[in-house]
Structure 1
Amino acid sequence: MILSTASSSQANAAFWRFLATRLLVSLLTLLAVSFMIYGLIELMPGDYAERELFRKYSGTGVTITQAEIDRVRADLGLDRPFLVRYGEWLWNVVTRLDFGPAFRVETSVNALIGDKFFYTFVLVVGAMLISYIVAIPVGIWVASRKSGIGDGVVTLLSYLGLALPNFAIALVLLMLNAFVFDLDVTGLVSQEFRDAPWSMAKFLDFLGHAYIPLLVLGWSTTAFQLQTMRGLMKDEMGKLYVTAAQARGFSGWPMLIKYPARHAVMPIVSTIGFDFSRSFNELPIVASILVLGELGQELLLAFLDADQNTAAGILVCITSVIIAANFLSDLLVAALDPRVRMRGGR
């Protein structure tokens, strides 16, 4: 009993050390991402001051002087050394969650990306939740049955999800709603709600527009995880421990959930962070087709304008979500598999 208690305490201590290490690595990753974005834009030819003056005087025949460029740089604080500007920006982010001014639109980065980050976050998280809610139970069900019509239909749909690119699905759904049902499904809210504060009416309107991007984003992930769950379940169903459980009288869904599904779901849980990252990468293409107000377009414009504050702020927000998803997957894997807790997360 004493040895068992000591072993359990050591396992718990090892696991908490593992979580603390992952948290530290996550924070260092965010720091590295913000520094690299600031540094990459700093290395680009020209800066925001030059681009702004070029836009202002383009086609007017006015010659832009170096004195004018230096004046705009001084007004924006771009004449200070790189490390000073980055350090000030980082301090404001850490202490006040303030990403600084967005030069292109003369407002704060927080105000610029607030609603757009919310839309992006809801779409990605919603698509992932739908994918897992559908893929895991359907994969268990298909694997537990002998080959039949249900297995064939599910396999066909999953292959279509893997084969068809998201932009093609978005185009088909867009044209179907426009020409068959005479519905405008572009954007995430109707015109009258775009500048309105959040209310129940705006939220319901948002849900009425969000189902298509949720379906498009979730389709490929659902197809991939469904095939993964189906294959892993079939592999686990053929193992001796499942046969032994059935011999002891376990059967049906309780047996499937308690034994083979618990092991089969582990690879899916461990790839949550990867699925989030892939969805963030796929969203800008879908957003350009469905005219969604998300962060991808703002990020591209920030790079084109050499707007360091906006680019770093957007990528830090997206990276934070991906890192949080990876951290959550570690916790879920540890909760599902006692061996992980005993080994301290390794």
Structure 2
Amino acid sequence: MLSYIGRRLALGLFTVWAVSVLAFLIIQLPPGDFATTRLAELAAAGNPSAVYEAERLRAEYGLDQPIFVQYFTWIGQVIQGNLGMSFDWNRPVADVIGDRLLLSMVVSVAAIIFTWAVALPIGVYSAVRRYSVGDYTFTFLGFLGLAIPNFLLALILMYLGFAVFDANVGGLFSPEYESAPWSFAKAWDLLKHLLLPAVVLGMTGTAQLVRIMRANLLDELKKPYVITARAKGLSERRMVAKYPVRVALNPFASSIGFLFPQVVSGAIVVSIVLSLPTVGPLLLRSLQAQDMFLAGAIVLLLGVMTVIGTLISDLVLMWLDPRIRHAR
């Protein structure tokens, strides 16, 4: 067990390094750099010192150095815990990300909890009550959830909130708490605003896991060990919960590895629509401004989250399914 975790950690570190290299190279692919973008802005504003300012920025941030020198300078700072300076914000990257990363994690966890809490019982019910009215109803709603884009669902719910309930359903805080320091009242206000983004971001994943859970459980219910358990007189509810459901939970555990980064990076449009102060819109802005240190830090953090999520997923799978445990 410990040797397996050690191997996974070593592979995880290599994966994070590879992600850092690829992220840095991809961010450098568009022509020009942050100084070029700033030069165009200053020239459009009629600033006579635009060229001088652009050259000063290149020298200050090392943009005039070869790309491999820029990379090793950046990754050396990251190893020391310094994510560098944001060109666009003119502040340390850690300060720019700040609370946004924490709020992104909170929204991600809320969306995952919603996904599991809804998908698990519905998937089990649809499999056990196959071809019933409830099964057909949940199947229809599941296909509807897969078909509706998250941002469109966000717009619909926002409209209903304003038009029907006369409520402010955008953002994660009430106006009086947006710039207030953290307190119990602010945390409670955050919890009250979490339901809408959790539902919107978790809807697609919920619809997918319902179908996967139903299909896997239907397959397990046909296995010989289920027939044997029924023959021994085990009650249907206890038999289903103790054996086939546990094996059919594997897709839930395996989804941990991609749900965290997917919710963070895949929700940029939803975050913009709902005015969520998360990392997604910040990543979009940094890419548009060619703020390579900020964009690189966010992509690197997404890679780290993927590695951690995959490790947790593998450990949960080993706990759920003894066959995987022995195979290791």
> Which interval holds the TM-score relative to the shorter structure?
over 0.9
- Following superposition of structure 1 onto structure 2, how do residues 57-72 of structure 1 map, counting pairs within 5 Å? 57-60=43-46, 62=48, 64-65=50-51, 67-72=52-57
2:307 paired residue among 304, 308, 323: 323
The Cα of 1:92 is off from its aligned counterpart by: 2.5
User: For 2:300, what is the secondary structure of its paired residue?
Assistant: helix
- Distance in 1 (alpha carbons) for counterparts of 2:285 and 2:130: 53
1:293 paired residue among 260, 263, 277: 277
Length, aligned pairs only: 328
- Distance in 2 (alpha carbons) for counterparts of 1:41 and 1:150: 48
The Cα of 1:91 is off from its aligned counterpart by: 2.4
CA contact (8 A) 1:38 1:86 kept: yes
Instruction: Summarize the Cα distance change of 1:43–1:160 in structure 2 as closer, same or farther, 3 Å threshold.
Output: closer
Instruction: Summarize the Cα distance change of 1:167–1:263 in structure 2 as closer, same or farther, 3 Å threshold.
Output: same
- Following superposition of structure 1 onto structure 2, how do residues 154-169 of structure 1 map, counting pairs within 5 Å? 154-169=138-153
Alignment gaps of 5+ in structure 2: none
CA contact (8 A) 2:125 2:135 kept: no
Identity of aligned residues (%): 36
- What's 1:93 paired with? 78
- What's 1:27 paired with? 13
Instruction: Summarize the Cα distance change of 1:95–1:154 in structure 2 as closer, same or farther, 3 Å threshold.
Output: same
- What's 2:241 paired with? 257
Give the TM-score, by structure 1 length. Answer: 0.88
Q: Is residue 152 of structure 1 aligned with residue 167 of structure 2?
A: no
- Distance in 1 (alpha carbons) for counterparts of 2:108 and 2:117: 14
CA contact (8 A) 2:153 2:200 kept: yes
User: For 1:250, what is the secondary structure of its paired residue?
Assistant: coil
- What's 1:49 paired with? 35
- What's 2:23 paired with? 37
2:107 paired residue among 104, 123, 135: 123
Any runs of at least 4 consecutive aligned residues in structure 1 with deviations exceeding 4 A, and if so which? none
User: For 2:89, what is the secondary structure of its paired residue?
Assistant: coil
CA deviation map 1:186-231 (0-9, x unaligned): 1111222222221111111112222111001111111111111112
- What's 2:224 paired with? 240
The Cα of 1:39 is off from its aligned counterpart by: 2.2
- Distance in 1 (alpha carbons) for counterparts of 2:244 and 2:259: 23
Q: AA paired with 2:72? A: G
Instruction: Summarize the Cα distance change of 1:61–1:116 in structure 2 as closer, same or farther, 3 Å threshold.
Output: closer
Please report the RMSD computed on the Cα atoms of aligned residues, expressed in angstroms. 2.0
Q: RCO greater where, 1 or 2, for CA within 8 Å and sep 6 or more? A: 1
Alignment gaps of 5+ in structure 1: 1-14
Q: AA paired with 1:156? A: F
- Distance in 2 (alpha carbons) for counterparts of 1:146 and 1:284: 37
CA contact (8 A) 1:166 1:282 kept: no
- What's 1:9 paired with? none
User: For 2:286, what is the secondary structure of its paired residue?
Assistant: helix
CA contact (8 A) 1:37 1:308 kept: no
CA deviation map 1:62-91 (0-9, x unaligned): 3644x5433222223333443333223222
Q: AA paired with 1:149? A: V
CA deviation map 1:28-72 (0-9, x unaligned): 22212222222233343222223223323423163644x543322
Instruction: Summarize the Cα distance change of 1:84–1:61 in structure 2 as closer, same or farther, 3 Å threshold.
Output: closer
Q: Max radius of gyration: which structure?
A: 1
- Distance in 2 (alpha carbons) for counterparts of 1:206 and 1:87: 39
- What's 1:17 paired with? 3
